[in-house]
Amino acid sequence: MGDPGLFGPSTVTWHLHADPTMWIAGITSLFLQSLHPRAVAAVVQNSRFQQDPVGRLLRTSRFVAVSTYGTTEEVESAAAKVRKVHRTLCAHDRRSGEPIRLDDPELLLWVHCAEVASFASVVRNAGFPLSDEAHDRYFDEQRRSAALVGIDPDRVPGSRREMTEYFQRVRPELARTGDSELVVRFLHRPFRDWRLQPVNLAYQPLGRLAYAQLPGWARTLHGRSGLPQPVAEAGLRGFRCFGRAVPDRVRYRWPSGYVPRAVERLGMQAYPSLTRLPAL
């Protein structure tokens, strides 16, 4: 066996992160993250996501891919770059005017929890066979990802119960703001160039589908109802069926190719597969 990296084929993370509905889950997590006023202010004031929407999405997806399937050296290198960015950038709170550090542990914890909770929820709702025990194990495994960006793993929810308690604790801090509205509009219609309006039209069903996967309390805070749940559920499962119909050797080579490289290191048994989910 070669270097399994941070997780390896014996983890829930290895197989869950290969599901095609992770694309929808990633967008859902951005909708959720935007409800934290300080976190979204830091993004809006430092990111060029409106000028480079595809690049922003690909950079995020590549970090998830390398942290899941990359070698130990690749993971440590990518994490060091993220920590450096967080150390060097800052923003200001639009309400108080106080400075916001991007490496604030509370903000990092919020982004982590919004991300992994969305990943697990959306992929499970799409039909991925994630048992309650595997769901708990996934959150426990994701403490390793949290540590990469500088979060104390002992402070990170490691089960469904702990994740629920975290969101209950942080919910009073969440709100709809001008920045969150900017992000929501962007995630529904990311391309501003009039020449790319046909791409917007093709993308919009995905944005609406991702928004519909938010918890009910999050949609209430955003002030938008979204798609009816039966439509959202059918759309999500349809997207998963379509994605799984693409041959693995094709699907896993885009956009980053980390899965095929992991298979080259570890052998064919490293291909993500529902049949290889760890028995719990």
Residues 144-154: tens digit of each pLDDT: 999 999 999 99
Say if CB 19 and CB 273 are below 8 A apart.
Answer: no
- 92-109 pLDDT, tens digit per residue, is 998 888 999 999 999 999
How confident is the model over 49-82, as pLDDT tens digits?
Answer: 777 777 777 888 899 999 999 999 999 999 999 9
- Across 15-19, 44-48, 81-85, 218-222, least confident range: 44-48
Cβ 250 vs Cβ 210: under 8 Å: no
Q: How confident is the model at residue 9 (pLDDT cuts 50, 70, 90)?
A: very high
Residue 1's pLDDT band (boundaries 50, 70, 90)? low
Q: How far apart are CA 188 and CA 146, in angstroms?
A: 28
Check whether 255 has a pLDDT greater than 80.
no
What are the helix (H) ranges across 128-215? 132-141, 143-148, 160-170, 178-188, 197-212
- Residues linked to residue 100 through DSSP beta bridges, in sequence order: 91
Triad 56, 61, 159: Cα angle to 5°: 125
Residue whose C-alpha is closest to residue 26's, from 111, 103, 132? 111
Confidence grade of residue 280 (pLDDT, cut at 50, 70, 90):
low
Residue 261 token pair: 């490289």
- Domain-by-domain residue ranges, the chain? 12-267
